[in-house]
Amino acid sequence: MATFIIEHLDCKLWKWCLIEYKHISKIVGKGKLLFTNIKNKQLGKYGKRNSKSISELNLKNACILDPDAKKTLSPEEAKKFKYFIFGGILGDYPPKKRTKKELTKKLNFTARNIGKKQFSTDNAVAVVKEILKGKKLKDLKFKKKIEIQLGKYDSVILPYRYLLIKNKPLISKELVEYLKRRKEF
């Protein structure tokens, strides 16, 4: 059984991150999720929590998911890993390659990509979960950029890659509601 680790890399726990982290917990289950590098006790409701950084945990058999990694994660290889590490980062557009800078270059773990496009953290986790079930990346369907209608005349475009489930992008309903209530972008 693989453990999904979110190494929180932002300076604080933004509301957007919390919503994604809750969604990840629903996707993989609380027992398979570990949040690292964060002191926020609230996250204990959604998975295990450790205030130490991943670099201090002495893990073996771990894989960092990095869009800049040279090799793509395959189902055969995925089954060999015990831990999958994701950067808990509010993504910038265009991407700044923070996963590479803050995780891959600093840690001595295998790095794999799930395509070169930037995912939201919850979607990256969902894709790895599908790969662990035996699906190849090329057999999964995605949508690049989604538009969320905020009001009659307003919308926001999220420039990330989303896994399609039954032809609909995987996005938390709570996140959509949060975006609709938000006053500025």
Residue 184 covered by a domain: no
Residue 164 covered by a domain: no
The tokens describing 45, both together, are: 């409701």
How buried is residue 68: exposed, middle or buried, by Cβ count under 10 Å (0-12/13-18/19+)? middle
pTM recorded for the entire structure: 0.92
- In the chain, which ranges are continuous DSSP H helix? 15-28, 75-78, 98-99, 121-132, 173-181
Residue 181 covered by a domain: no
- In 102-182, which ranges are continuous DSSP H helix? 121-132, 173-181
Residue 96 covered by a domain: yes
| CATH code: domain of residue 17 | 3.40.1280.30
Residue 147 covered by a domain: no
Residue 99 covered by a domain: yes
Residue whose pair of structure tokens reads 């058999």 in the numeric block: 61
Residue 159 DSSP symbol:
E
Tell me the residue range of the domain where 53 lies: 3-138
What is the residue-level pLDDT of the chain in tens, covering all 185 positions? 899 999 998 888 999 999 999 999 999 999 999 999 998 898 999 999 999 999 999 999 999 999 999 999 999 999 999 999 998 665 566 665 667 777 877 888 999 999 989 899 999 999 999 999 999 999 999 999 999 998 889 999 999 999 999 999 999 999 999 999 986 65
Residue 110 covered by a domain: yes
Q: What type of residue is 184?
A: E
Contact partners, residue 64, CB within 8 Å, separation at least 6: 85, 99, 103, 104, 107, 109, 110, 111, 112
Q: What is the C-alpha separation between 179 and 149, in angstroms, rounded?
A: 9
Question: What is the count of structural domains for the chain?
Answer: 1
Q: What is the C-alpha separation between 87 and 160, in angstroms, rounded?
A: 15
